Amino acid sequence: MSHSAQPTASLYIDGRPVEGQGAALAVHYPYTGEVIATLHEASEAQVAAACAAAAKAQPAWAALRPVERGRVLLRAAALIRERGEELARLETLDTGKPIQETRVADWPSGADALEYFGGLAATITGQTIPLGGDFVYTIREPLGVCAGIGAWNYPSQIACWKAAPALVMGNAMVFKPSEETPLGALKLAEILAEAGLPAGVFNVVQGRGAVGAALVTDPRVAKVSLTGSVSTGQKVYAAAAEGMRHVTMELGGKSPLIVFDDASLEDAIGAAMLANFYSSGQICSNGTRVFVQDAILPRFLERLSERLAAVKIGDPLEDDTQHGPIVSAAQVDKIRAAIAQGKAEGARLVCGGPGEGAFVPPTVFADAGDDMFIAREEIFGPVMTVLRFATEDEVVARANATPYGLAAGVFTRDLARGHRVAAALEAGTTWINAYNLTPVEAPFGGVKLSGVGRENSAAAIEHYSQLKSVYVGMGAVDAPY
Ligand code: NDP
C-alpha cells in the first residue's frame, strides 16, 4: 500500500494552502524510511506574510462573542473525531508511532483540548473590585498574534494544545511544526477552516530552526509557546525577551518515578513501562529514573523483564504493534550512544539494547549510579534506568537532585506518604499511583529548567491573555491643588 501523504501545499497562510519558497523538506515514514511527502520551508517573506495575515485577522476574531469562537473549536473537535482513523494513520506515517497509540492518544487528546477550551470560552470573565464607592473592574484581553512552535513527538496534539486556548481568547496564531513531522498542523489548519475559522486566524509555516527564529522575532508576535528541548527553549526565551514577549516553555526532563516496597508491584511495573516505553520513549514527561526500594528490587526487575519480553515490536500500522520505530536516524544515533555510555559507565543491561535499523527495543539498566549519564541526561528514547533506594528522605533528595522539574511519580499504598512525597518532589506535574496521564482538565508544565507557564486547564488562559484594570471614579476628584 502506498504511504504517500503529500499535502496540497506546504504552508497555510491567510486561509489558503501556499507552497513554500524555501529549501525542500523531505518527510520520511520512520518505519520504512520512504519519502511520503516533499515540502518546502517558508521564506522570510512568507513568515512575515503569515504574521501579517494573523495581525490583520485577529481584531475581528476577538470582537466575536466568546460563545461564537467556542463554537468553531467545538465543530473542529467533532470533525477530528469523525475522521479519527484517517488522522491516526497520517500521524503514524509522520511519527512512526504505533496506530494503537495514535488512535487514542494524539488527535483525540487534541480534540479534548478543542472541546475543553471551546466550552470554556463563554465562562471567561473579569472581576469587580469594590472600593467603597469607586470600583475597579478587570478585562481579560487577548495578546494579539501568538507563535506556536512544536516538537516531533506529539505533533498534532501539540498544535491543538497551543491553538485551542490561544484562539478561544481571541488571539491569532502562526504555528511552526517540527521539520520532522510537518503534516498534522496542516490538517489542523484545514479542519479549523472547515469548522468556520476566519482566514488568517490560524496559519502554518514550515521550516527548520531558522524559520522558528524568524517567527519568534517578528515584531507582530506578542507571545511564543514552544514545546522542545531545554537548549532550544533557552534560545527562544532569550529571543522573546528582547520584545518583552510572553512565553510558555514546555521543555525536557529527567523525571523520577519512586516505587516504595508497599506498592502494588504489578501497577508500579505497568506505570514504569508506560513511563518509559510509550511512543518508543519519546515523551518529555517520562519517568526515566525509576527508584525502587531495596526489598522489592529483585522481584521488580524479574517481573518487568517478563512483561517486556511480551511487547510486540514492529510495523506501526498493524493493530497489535505496541512498540514502533524511532522518529529519525539522528535520534536513533543519540539513543544508541546513550546506551553505549550506560554500559561503559558500568550499569547492568537487564534487557533491550541498541536494536537494529530504526528500532531500539525497550531497554532497562539496573545497578546504576545517580551520576551516570543515563541517570542524569534526557535520552528521549526507550531507555529506563532503575536505581535502588532505602529510605524516603534519601529518595526524595536524590529525586530532586536534577536541574529538571517536569514531572514525578510515587507508588505506595501509604496514603500520607503518597501526599507527603508528591508535595516534596520538585516537579510541575506529579502522580500518585499513576503515571503520564495528562488530561486537558489538569494544568501541565514544568519547574526549574523544564519550563515556564502551564498548558491545559483554565490556567492556560492566563498564558494567552493579559489583564486590564479599569478604575471607575464615582465621586468628585479629590485633588490637593
Ligand atoms: P527541539 O528543541 O530541537 O525543537 C523544538 C522546535 O523548535 C522544533 O520545531 C524546532 O525546529 C524549533 N527550533 C529549533 N531551533 C529554534 C530556534 N532557534 N528558534 C525557534 N525555533 C527553533 O526539540 P525536538 O523537536 O528535537 O523535540 C525533542 C525535545 O522536546 C526533547 O528534548 C523533549 O524533552 C522536548 N519535549 C518537551 C515536551 C514538553 O511538553 N515539555 C513535549 C515534547 C518534547 P526543527 O525541529 O524543525 O529544527
Residues 304, 416: one domain?
A: yes
Cell 472541546, located at residue:
115
Residue with cell 505533533: 155
Question: How far is ligand 1, taken at its centre, from the CA of residue 156, in Å?
Answer: 14
CA distance 373 to 397: 19
Q: What share of the chain is helix, strand, coil (3-state, %, to 5)?
A: 40, 20, 40
* pLDDT for residue 237 is more than 90: yes
Structural domain contains residue 210 = yes
Same domain, 247 and 135: yes
- The alpha carbon of 145 and the centre of ligand 1 are apart by a number of angstroms equal to 20
pLDDT of residue 2: 79
Determine phi and psi for 243, rounding to 5 degrees. Answer: -95, 15
| 165 and 245, same domain (yes or no) | yes
My answer on whether 343 and 416 are in the same domain is yes
What is the DSSP track for 299-334?
HHHHHHHHHHHT--BS-TTSTT--B---S-HHHHHH
Q: Which of these, 214, 224, 282, 280, lies nearest to 250 by C-alpha position?
A: 224
DSSP state of 352: -
| 1 pLDDT higher than 70 | no
The H-or-E segment that residue 466 falls in is: strand 465-472
DSSP letter string, 368-424:
--TTSHHHHS---SSEEEEEEE--HHHHHHHHH-SS--SEEEEE-S-HHHHHHHHHH
Let me know if residue 438 belongs to a domain.
no
Examine the residue annotation and report whether 34 is marked as an active-site residue of this protein. no
Q: Given the CA of residue 252, which atom of ligand 1 is nearest to it? A: 34
Nearest in space to 254 (alpha carbons), one of 366, 391, 400: 400
Say which amino acid occupies 201: V
- Are residues 392 and 460 located together in one domain of the fold? no
Residue 333 lies in a domain: yes
Give the distance (Å) from ligand 1 centre to CA of residue 381: 15
Asked if pLDDT for residue 121 goes beyond 90, the answer is yes
- What is the model's pTM? 0.97
Distance (Å) from CA 472 to ligand 1 centroid: 45
Residue 204 belongs to domain spanning: 11-251+450-468
Are 373 and 277 spatial neighbours (Cβ–Cβ below 8 Å)?
A: no
Ligand 1: residue of 25, 27, 47, 149 to mutate (most ligand atoms within 8 A of CB) is 149
Asked if residue 480 is part of any domain, the answer here is no
Closest Cα to atom 35, ligand 1: which residue?
A: 228
Has residue 478 been placed in a domain?
A: no
In this structure, the residues whose C-beta lies within 6 A of any atom of ligand 1 are 149-153, 176, 178-179, 208-209, 212-213, 216, 226-229, 232, 235-236, 250-252, 284, 378, 380, 406, 451
- For ligand 1, atom 36, the nearest C-alpha belongs to 228
Instruction: Indicate the top mutation candidate among 44, 106, 229, 463 to test ligand 1's pocket, ranked by most ligand atoms within 8 A of CB.
Output: 229
Whether 99 is covered by a domain: the verdict is yes
Ligand 1, atom 8, lies closest to the CA of 178
Give the CATH number, domain containing residue 66.
3.40.605.10
Q: Tell whether 152 and 286 lie within a shared domain.
A: no
Is 419 contained in some domain?
yes
Q: Which amino acid is at 67?
A: V
Distance 151 CA to ligand 1 centre (A): 4
Nearest residue to 340 (alpha-carbon basis) of 350, 353, 359 = 353
Task: Note the pLDDT of residue 210.
Answer: 95
Position in ligand 1 atom list of the atom nearest CA 249 = 41
Of 227, 276, 288, the residue with max ligand 1 atoms within 8 A of its CB, to mutate for a pocket test, comes to: 227
Which listed residue (101, 179, 180, 250) is catalytic? 250
Question: Which protein residue's CA is at the shortest distance from atom 34 of ligand 1?
Answer: 252
Q: What rounded mean pLDDT belongs to the chain?
A: 98
Q: What is the CATH number of the domain that holds 358?
A: 3.40.309.10
Q: Do 203 and 322 fall within a single domain?
A: no
Q: Could you tell me if residue 138 is inside a domain?
A: yes
Mean pLDDT of 54-60: 98
Nearest residue (CA) to ligand 1, atom 20? 212
Atom of ligand 1 nearest to the CA of 444: 40
Dig out the grid coordinates for 111 from the structure: 480534540
User: Does the pLDDT at position 11 exceed 70?
Assistant: yes
Strand pairing class (429-432; 407-411): parallel
Same domain, 341 and 229: no
**198 and 330 part of one domain:** no
C-alpha cell at 252: 525536557
Ligand 1 atom nearest to CA at 150: 9
Give yes or no: residues 225 and 260 share one domain: no
Between helix 66-82 and helix 107-120 the angle, nearest 10°, is: 160
Close Cβ partners of 76 (under 8 Å, ≥ 6 residues apart)? 114, 188, 191, 192, 194, 195, 197
Q: Report how far ligand 1's centroid is from the alpha carbon of 304 (Å).
A: 31
Grid cell listed for 202: 490560524
314's grid cell = 514492529
Distance 474 CA to ligand 1 centre (A): 52
The number of distinct structural domains making up the chain is 2
One domain for residues 279 and 402: yes
pLDDT digits (tens, 9 = 90+) for 282-312: 999 999 999 999 999 999 999 999 999 999 9
pLDDT at residue 268 greater than cutoff 80:
yes
3-class secondary structure, 255: coil
Same domain as 264, residue 243? no
What mean pLDDT is predicted for residues 218-240?
Answer: 98
State the Cα–Cα distance between residues 466 and 281, nearest whole angstrom: 36
Q: Best of 230, 284, 383, 440 to mutate for ligand 1, by most ligand atoms within 8 A of CB?
A: 284
